[in-house]
Structure 1
């Protein structure tokens, strides 16, 4: 029995599909099948029922599962500990992040981490939400920083960093600017100027309006935060943003008003694998401490 065979077995339990598991492990279907077959031949049992569309474990597979999971856990812990005895070699950590992390002070944490672990080289790239998830799914990044609510599937580790609430931004002379809170329905007759730079975030904002019972009357422009100010200053439109982003917009002509429905997004660190690298584990532990500051 090999560690690779156990990874194949546990992958099928999770995905209920041979082809999907083979792809996730970077193996051809034939090589993958040989791993499962070799494991079954060693124990003289069948671990999976292959007659149904979804691959289901047999009674033997169900019994074998907790043992396989335990062995893999012990192996991962052993492997991680042994990394500590390696020479102080350079390690690399790839981080794919949505834009706007500057507003959440995440870069401060990244810079501090670099100082604490100078042997870990960080490659940080800012991308749109869809591109971040593509990097996760293709194994092109060790860690992603993204709003958890925008994820299109589940991942082994999703660690919340900061919960951010939605606000409306408008001219200080707007008829609703004096309110402590505003409901989305109160905005239904307004003209909106929405950020379109990230299609998933834009979709989320538009869907928020639809959930409130109306389709936002959106001005057909595609602008960055700074350029949006001119429209808002002229009192020609309002916008919906997360508070951390909106705070960069507010000046002596603009105000932000919290949304009564308490809409929110959770900026999170996402890990695409159950066996992250040593550099990744150190970063996760550091982020847990950093977010408490």
Structure 2
């Protein structure tokens, strides 16, 4: 910070209050009294020439300046933590921290093996997992730097993001067990034209939504929406409850809750492509090492056109 003297402990205090939004809780977290904590925040504000929090007797909220400072304060503290590890680790060891975004149950075949491999191969890399990240949101967070890697649906519409195919899964129907078609070996998607569907919100930027809409329109109908929901496992739960039907990938067939069944689609097959995405900006050694490891653990398959 040019011309500004800021102590590390001031930033630690700021981040604690920003995350707790409560001076008492932040003081307890830092193992200090509340009055010295308030004085520390005041020193930081005077040094920066900006108020960082709106304070009242009932609440604490970040100001615009506080919101602007928070990601940089976190980065400074993270870099300091990485630096302290660097002087303790043998030369050549890969260390650092990575944040990996994922959707949820749709990534159950790719997330566990990659996370285990990172822990076993690079024990000095701290891997933080962030769930319920839809593809469009993942792209935005990769571009902003708040995510290092993300599992996404492909294709990704951004010139600032690299992505690699991890898996291609056929789409099928998820039906309540009492549904008239639940016992079939396969069904045509057009058989569900009069049903109500559970779909991700269109605004969420979900590739699953786009793939479902494409498959339905090619089958000759536009699906009626019973409810929009982002979490694929919650979609399966609502199908089991009889709220509607859904189109999901074949990989979830082993994870269905009681009351729901997976039925393959006949006719022209439809697929969802799963990928791993990252920013085109140069990354850390930790990110590059995990990307290289991912190619061994989750090699790119041959795509079916």
TM over 0.5: yes
How far the C-alpha of 1:268 sits from its partner, in A, is 1.0
Q: How does 1:48-197 map to 2 (within 5 A)?
A: 86=91, 88=93, 90-100=95-105, 103-126=108-131, 127-149=133-155, 151-154=156-159, 157-196=162-201
- Please give the secondary structure, in 1, of the residue aligned with 2:185: coil
The 1:141/1:232 distance shift into structure 2, 3 A limit, reads closer
How far the C-alpha of 1:132 sits from its partner, in A, is 0.6
Q: TM-score, normalised by structure 2?
A: 0.57
Q: How does 1:186-225 map to 2 (within 5 A)?
A: 186-196=191-201, 199-201=204-206, 203-204=209-210, 205-220=212-227, 222=229
Contact kept, 8 Å, 1:188 with 1:214, in 2: the verdict is yes
Residue deviations 1:39-79, cap 9 Å, x none? xxxxxxxxxxxxxxxxxxxxxxxxxxxxxxxxxxxxxxxxx
Contact kept, 8 Å, 2:240 with 2:257, in 1: the verdict is no
What residue number does 1:80 align with?
none
- Please give the secondary structure, in 1, of the residue aligned with 2:199: coil
The 1:225/1:139 distance shift into structure 2, 3 A limit, reads closer
Q: Aligned equivalents of 2:237 and 2:94: distance in 1? A: 51
Q: Aligned equivalents of 2:121 and 2:94: distance in 1? A: 15
Contact kept, 8 Å, 1:183 with 1:259, in 2: the verdict is yes
- Please give the secondary structure, in 1, of the residue aligned with 2:262: strand
Q: Structure 2: state its 5+ residue gaps.
A: 1-89, 300-305
**273, 276, 286: which is aligned to 1:269?**
276
Q: TM-score, normalised by structure 1?
A: 0.59
Contact kept, 8 Å, 1:250 with 1:256, in 2: the verdict is no
Q: Structure 1: state its 5+ residue gaps.
A: 1-84
The Cα RMSD (Å) is: 3.1
How far the C-alpha of 1:231 sits from its partner, in A, is 5.0
The 1:224/1:285 distance shift into structure 2, 3 A limit, reads closer
Matched, 1:256 2:262: yes
How far the C-alpha of 1:256 sits from its partner, in A, is 0.9
Tell me the matched-pair count: 207
What residue number does 1:237 align with?
244
How far the C-alpha of 1:280 sits from its partner, in A, is 1.8
